[in-house]
Amino acid sequence: RKEVEQDPGPFNVPEGATVAFNCTYSNSASQSFFWYRQDCRKEPKLLMSVYSSGNEDGRFTAQLNRASQYISLLIRDSKLSDSATYLCVFNNAGNMLTFGGGTRLMVKP
């Protein structure tokens, strides 16, 4: 099993839609989880941390499912400006932050 698996997409959704991405990880001992956003030709930036109890930031909700070893990101009421690549991140067995390959989201008018 790969350390981290993400559907590369692209996910093409209309404005206002709700879209969700999942990311599976292999290290059951991972403690830290994050979602990053990367715009075209820019560096990745932290979108939000993922807490065990789940957390919400405006239109964005992140959840952790330890039993099935995946994290999810839900975006409600999608905006054109949400178009980007979303990267999941967790700490591996060596306590190094490991990045997924990213899921590309395209929000269309």
**Footprint of another protein on 2-41 (CB under 8 A):** 8, 31-32, 34
Q: Which of 10, 20, 56, 97 binds another protein (CB under 8 A)?
A: 97
As a 3-state breakdown, the chain gives helix, strand, coil percent values, each rounded to 5, of: 5, 50, 45
What residues contact residue 108 under an 8 Å CB cut-off, 6+ apart?
A: 12, 13, 14, 15
**Footprint of another protein on 49-68 (CB under 8 A):** 49
Tell me how far apart the alpha carbons of residues 103 and 67 are, in angstroms, rounded to a whole number: 23
Q: Minimum CB separation from another protein for residue 13, in Å?
A: 21
Residues that bind another protein (CB under 8 A): 8, 31-32, 34, 42-46, 49, 87, 89, 91-92, 94-102
